[in-house]
Amino acid sequence: MTPRPNRPRIALVAGIVATVLLSVGGCSASGSPGATSTAPAPSPTASADPGADAAFAAVMSAPVSTWRSSYLTSSMTFAVPGTVVAASVGTGPVARVASGDATLGSIPLAVDDTFHIGSMTKLFTAALIMQLDQEGVLSLDDTLSRWYPEAPNASAITVRMLLQHESGLAELDFDLVGTATTQAVIDNVFAEPPVSAPGTAYAYLNAGYIILGSIAEKAANIPYGEQVETRFIDQLGLTGTYLDGFGKGPAAVDGFDLGCAAGTGGDCLGKPSTATPTSPTPSPQWTGAFSAGGMVSSARDQAVWIRDLVPGVGTCLGHAGEIPGSNGIAAYCPDADLAIVILNDLLPAGLTPGYPGLLELAPPALKALAG
């Protein structure tokens, strides 16, 4: 979870998710920002199939290896130390392939490895808020003044605006994330002047989703992590998924930060990368990102989650995420009934890729699953 340029506008999709939805075609959002419908009940899904993994890897190992090492031609710009891809068609088995290393030169990535998924966490938060709205615990039209009357423009900012990144509030002080309490992070946001009038402008806002997690806790009187665990993780059998600092599960790979001989950031565009173990480890953001970016998950779990979350919409939709040590995307492409997840063990230097590997790897994944 790091500062980023604005992404495409929000849509409410399938009545359960309100977040930044990514369209492969033209990078435009789909759906109507005001549309709502009844959320589908999560349904348990079978475990991954080793036979499906082997068949998938036979086709996908070369494309994944080529993609993650082709820093001049890939949308990533930089070589990627390690990647896990998971995909499924319909409710079929989730097939997985791993490429590269968890620890350079000594420990290869495994298909079951878990990652810090950063802003992909926001899908869980949006789904939770939508369910609480449908149950009458809160309303999308409730204003921030119900829980935080001290916030600037509290009586004008609605829950819907927070979901849609249109609150006009200031962004987080990222130096406080994980080094101060969640409440202190929120208080610091409220102490800053708003950047726009509520509901008048879109600006991607991590702060809004930390506030939403706090609202969910206050409205339901249940910890955010417990609500996500009970409503989604347990029901879908997401055995590698948990909120860092709350739940328990397989330890996530630490991952890498990337730079180059020329320096970092924009100086490295188009140049070979140097993988440096994430420092400090653990990153304070891994727990501090909370409901905006604090989840840990596996590629298989994210494939099950994304295909259950957004069925029946008309383009590839999902969410990308990044946090120290990793980045990735979970997407569902209903025209092909394809769920695909790409998790990478790096925080890329330079410009943040909005679709890390989706354009390159979705076509061969669909071909591999089709046999």
The domain locations on the chain are 10-35+122-228, 50-115+240-306+323-370
pLDDT, one tens digit per residue, over 190-243 is 999 999 999 999 999 999 999 999 999 999 999 999 999 999 999 999 999 999
Nearest Cα neighbor of 29 from 307, 315, 293, 359 is 315
User: Distance from first CA to last CA of the chain, Å, rounded?
Assistant: 37
> Mean pLDDT lowest for which of 5-19, 134-148, 220-234?
5-19
Residues 121-136 have a mean pLDDT of 96
Structure tokens at 131: 């369910």
Fold of domain 10-35+122-228:
Beta-lactamase (3.40.710)
> Residue 9 pLDDT more than 70?
no
Stated pTM of the model: 0.86
- Partners of residue 10 on adjacent β-strands: 20
Distance, in Å, from the CA atom of 321 to the CA atom of 122, rounded to the nearest integer, reads: 9
Specify whether the CB–CB gap between 41 and 31 falls below 8 A: no
Segment (H or E) for 83: strand 82-89
Q: What is the pLDDT of residue 278?
A: 87
pLDDT, one tens digit per residue, over 253-263 is 999 887 667 66
Distance, in Å, from the CA atom of 120 to the CA atom of 19, rounded to the nearest integer, reads: 10
> Residue 62 pLDDT more than 90?
yes
